[in-house]
Amino acid sequence: MRVVMSQSATEFITPLTMQALSGNPVSQDLLDPAAELAMGHIELAKWADLVVVAPATANLLARMSAGMADELITTVTLATAAPIAVCPAMNQQMYHHPATQANLTTLQQRGCLIWGPAAGDQACGDVGKGRMLEPQQILEHIQATQHPQILEGKHLLITAGPTREAIDPVRYLTNKSSGKMGYALAEQALALGADVTLVSGPVSIKALQGVNTITVESAEQMHQAVMENVDNADVFIGCAAVADYKPAELATQKIKKNNTTMAIELTRNPDILADVAKRSNRPFTVGFAAETNDVAKYAKGKLANKKLDMIAANDVSKPNQGFNTDDNALTVYWPEGECALTHGHKQQIARQLLELIHQQLK
């Protein structure tokens, strides 16, 4: 990695810091006497496989759009043959200004990648769209550009998170699912070129940009959302931890603690995965099995009984994998084989699982 800093950037962070982090000298000046002995700005432009401009201010976007080469950053972006990505960062009013939008459109029409911006609290006190993407998100975009778009043209329908089954107006039945695995699958599928629809139960995860997200509460709502979208899907991944049961009756008022014990009659929820799998025109259907014992036995049984194309099983009794963690480990089964995806970050596990699905689709 090579770093080019504007004068304004050096007022926020020192070139020495960026040099230490990148392991390479930092370039700052267009007419650096030492660098320009070898036409340094052209060599930089030729060296890059990808140019990422982060943060890209409204001023810098305007100069890039106009084709200016008045300092080192704009000169490199004009001279490079590599893909260019910009990460807009500015006040929300500046971002929405017609001039900024026109500049972004111009850059996009020239093939420039636009990553972000995100919405949220801003340094000026405003709230809105204009925040630069988080560094981790930018890194994921960079990684995506280095991977072939193996799912391009495919439509993936993914479920994520828990469901909530109401007992009364203030209480509900649910489970420990955080939704992190399902969201990781949606994010990685998008990075691999897929069109993604995510049906999400109640989670504390920010919505994914570029993903069509449908939010639901109950298993019945999730079932309805899946059935309304499954006809357009090439792949269905049932990653959500859907409640198997719901209260047979919903109390219209809060239940009072008048007795020392209470019995709640439960009734079965619809089986989303089974209903998708038995469709005559079904997509490639992938299930998940979160187990605490006999993981392989139960996963293989679910694969066969529901006639799935693939199932991903994990042992949630083990520490640091499964519910409410950033890491996971899966064993993936399909009728003709199996593959262990060893312990790693859920983003990594998600990509590996999608690559397995791609292989089976071929």
pLDDT at residue 148 tops 80? no
Q: CATH number of 155-361: 3.60.10.10, 3.40.50.10300, 3.40.630.30, 3.40.50.620?
A: 3.40.50.10300
Tell me, letter by letter, the H, E, C secondary structure of the chain: CCEECCHHHHCCCCHHHHHHHHCCCEECCCCCHHHHCCCHHHHHHHHCCCEEEEEECHHHHHHHHCCCCCCHHHHHHHHCCCCEEEEECCCHHHHHCHHHHHHHHHHHHCCCEECCCEEEECCCCCEEEEECCCHHHHHHHHHHHCCCCCCCCCEEEEEECECCEECCCCCEECCCCCCHHHHHHHHHHHHCCCEEEEEECCCCCCCCCCCEEEECCCHHHHHHHHHHHHHHCCEEEECCECCCEEECCCCCCCCCCCCCCCCCCEEECCCHHHHHHCCCCCCEEEEEEEECCCHHHHHHHHHHHCCCCEEEEEECCCCCCCCCCCEEEEEEEECCEEEEEEEEEHHHHHHHHHHHHHHHHC
Predicted local distance difference test score (pLDDT) of residue 31: 65
Predicted local distance difference test score (pLDDT) of residue 259: 82
| Residue 353 banded pLDDT, cuts 50, 70, 90 | very high
Binding residues for CTP: 238-240, 244, 254, 270-273, 288, 302, 306
Q: What does the pLDDT look like over 285-335, one tens digit per residue? A: 999 998 889 999 999 999 999 999 999 999 888 887 778 888 999 999 999
- Domain residues of the chain, as ranges? 3-145, 155-361
pLDDT at residue 232 tops 60? yes
Average pLDDT over residues 32-43: 59
Percent of the chain with pLDDT over 90: 68
pLDDT at residue 30 tops 80? no
Domains 3-145 and 155-361 share a fold: yes
| Residue 38 banded pLDDT, cuts 50, 70, 90 | very low
Considering only the top CATH level, what class is 3-145? alpha beta
| Catalytic center residues | 124
| Residue 275 banded pLDDT, cuts 50, 70, 90 | very high
